[in-house]
Amino acid sequence: MKNILILCTGNSCRSQIAHGYFAHFGKQNLKVYSAGIETHGVNPRAIATMADDGIDISDHTSNHVDEYLHIPFDYILTVCDHAQENCPYIPNQTALRIHHNFTDPSKLVSENEEEIKAAFAATRDEIKRFAHAFVEQHQIGV
């Protein structure tokens, strides 16, 4: 079993979506943790967009990275530039560090709910493709 930590700024949207897909594709071969350098709560639109693709993340919580400093990670993935630039030192880690700055749909300013849903779906699909390719490349699950 491999351990992966997915880091974002607030552990509310992109890292939660990634958590859902990494757990889905990694199956029993990957233990997934997601955290933020801050905690903002899980974004309801992230929950809804994942439900639209058949993945339930409604029981996820927004966690701070300090909660996981004792876990030996194999991979640490930052999903936004801010988290990469401000990621705290994680002791005793020989983890492979990966960075991919996914689009943040929660930053879209619009009164049009369909436009917002489309932004969340686009980010969801981008993360889904990345997670699937990652677990295949590293021969973890799929």
Residue 128 lies in a domain: yes
Q: Is 13 a catalytic residue?
A: no
When divided into structural domains, the chain yields a total of: 1
Residue 45 lies in a domain: yes
Query: 11: domain range?
Result: 2-137
Asked if residue 140 has pLDDT above 70, the reply is yes
Catalytic one among 6, 8, 17, 46? 8
> 126: how many CB neighbours lie within 10 A of its CB?
16
Catalytic one among 35, 80, 131, 140? 80
So what's the pLDDT on residue 91? 64
The CATH number covering residue 51 comes to 3.40.50.2300
So what's the pLDDT on residue 89? 67
**What's the whole-number mean pLDDT along residues 24-31?**
95
Residue 59 lies in a domain: yes
Residue 142 lies in a domain: no
Residue 25 lies in a domain: yes
Asked if residue 79 has pLDDT above 90, the reply is yes
So what's the pLDDT on residue 21? 98
State residue 57 phi and psi, 5-degree precision: -115, 20
Whole-angstrom distance between the N-terminal and C-terminal Cα of the chain?
14
**What's the whole-number mean pLDDT along residues 53-67?**
96
pTM confidence score: 0.93
Q: List residues bridging with 8 in a β-sheet.
A: 36
pLDDT bucket at 104, cuts 50 / 70 / 90? very high
Catalytic one among 87, 108, 118, 121? 87
Higher pLDDT residue, 76 or 94?
A: 76
Per DSSP, the three-state class of 32 is strand
